[in-house]
Amino acid sequence: MLCFVFAALIVALDQFFKQWVMRTLEIGETGQDIIPGVIGLTRWENDGAMLNILSGQQWLLAAIALAAAIVLIMILLRYNEGFWGTLGLSAVLGGTVGNLVDRIFNDGKVVDMFKTQFIDFPIFNFADIFITLGFLTFLVHFIMITIKTESREKAAEEHAGDEYYDEYDDEYSDEYSDEYSDEYDEQDNDEFAEIDSAVAARSEQELHQEDQYQYTEQASYDRDTQYYEETEVQDEYDSTDDLSSDVPLSLEALEMELGSLDDYNVDDLLREYGLNDDDESYL
């Protein structure tokens, strides 16, 4: 993992400068200034912790450093709260292991080399710098995460039940997903599958109903069209034009239809309307 590579680079850098100082300067000897008036080089060996805490308890401090390194490794193996938090913990791990190497291989003493010139401050080394900066980075990141989490939870409570709730919930889920995400995804997929099946069945039923409705409407339309066509034909029908009609007419009916019969040949009329001279019921 990259966090352990970063920690290993810190250990290598810290040990390189410590070995260089031990070869170049004697204990208590001051070297050239790194930044004039700000910081310079002075070799010193500290048998305590930072700020000379627990001075003379070298092996107790070594045991504490070893336990701290193990705890940090376990945390980093499980930690997934963001880049800056991981970077800070990695820096603390690298500095802790760097000083632990000194206590194991330098008779329980840590080699320091940086001396501030603008203020009276204990001499320190690269490992101390990375421990301090790493701790501050992780602390700031932890505070920001806490504030952001509380803000989202409060916003989710305020907007519960409205259109903004899904937005906050999605953002929170994307940043704080855990090992149960696969289980929730599988459960959601099952629910969505059931919903899709129900929607498909309902759509098929509605389509069938629509087809039946269209068929009924078409049949009704066809019946209405046939009725109006038949009515129109009946309205346009004129019995006087239907000379081949099989319905016999009486002379009175012919006279009503044609007016006076003086201008017509009775025999011709009877012949055209299917009558004969023997049928006295029409005379």
Active-site residue identified among 47, 112, 120, 190? 112
d(CA 179, CA 106): 44
For the cut 60, the answer to whether the pLDDT of residue 216 exceeds it is yes
Active-site residue identified among 14, 102, 120, 128? 128
Binned at pLDDT 50, 70 and 90, residue 220 comes out as: confident
Per residue in 135-169, pLDDT (tens digit) is 999 999 999 999 988 888 888 877 765 555 555 55
What tokens does 36 get?
Answer: 């004039």
| Residue 112 designated active-site | yes
For the cut 80, the answer to whether the pLDDT of residue 51 exceeds it is no
Go through 87-118 and write b for each residue having 16 or more CB atoms within 10 A of its CB, e for each that does not: bbbbbbbbbbbbbbbbbeeeebebbbbbbeee
Q: What is the pLDDT of residue 90?
A: 96
Mean of pLDDT values over 114-138: 93
For the cut 60, the answer to whether the pLDDT of residue 241 exceeds it is no
Q: Is 123 helix (H, G, I), strand (E, B) or coil?
A: coil
What tokens does 23 get?
Answer: 């070869």
Our CA angle for 184, 188, 194, nearest 5°, is 150
For the cut 90, the answer to whether the pLDDT of residue 56 exceeds it is no
The residue with greater pLDDT, 195 or 232, is: 195
For the cut 60, the answer to whether the pLDDT of residue 85 exceeds it is yes
Q: What is the pLDDT of residue 239?
A: 46
Q: What is the pLDDT of residue 269?
A: 60
Per residue in 3-50, pLDDT (tens digit) is 999 999 999 999 999 999 999 999 999 988 889 889 999 999 988 776
- Cα dihedral 155→161→164→166 (10° resolution): 100
Residue 193's alpha-carbon distances to 181, 204, 206, 207, in angstroms, are 18, 16, 20, 21
Ranges 4-18, 57-71, 147-161, 202-216, most confident:
4-18
For the cut 90, the answer to whether the pLDDT of residue 228 exceeds it is no
